[in-house]
Amino acid sequence: MKYDPEFETDVAVVGGGPAGTALATLLVQMGHKCCLFERDEFPRYHIGESLIPNTYSLFDKLGLLPALR
């Protein structure tokens, strides 16, 4: 998205990693206008990680668990 001075947002989240993306998703689900800033273009190269069972409740809250199964 290109910069638009007319764009209104409630919250700016800097960093599109796991924490920033989760925060932005939760804020939007709560009804906030959120803008997520990330310096890299996607898709980007990254090493895969394993998911520990404690993350499942967060993924469920984010609505992502069905896609991960």
* Residue 24 pLDDT grade (very low, low, confident, very high; cuts 50, 70, 90): very high
Please give the average per-residue pLDDT across 63-69, as a whole number.
Answer: 84
The amino acid occupying position 58 is: L
Q: 57 versus 46: which is more confidently predicted?
A: 57
pLDDT in tens, 48-58: 666 777 888 88
Positions of E strands within the chain: 11-14, 34-37
The mean pLDDT value of the chain amounts to 84
In the chain, what are the domain boundaries?
11-68
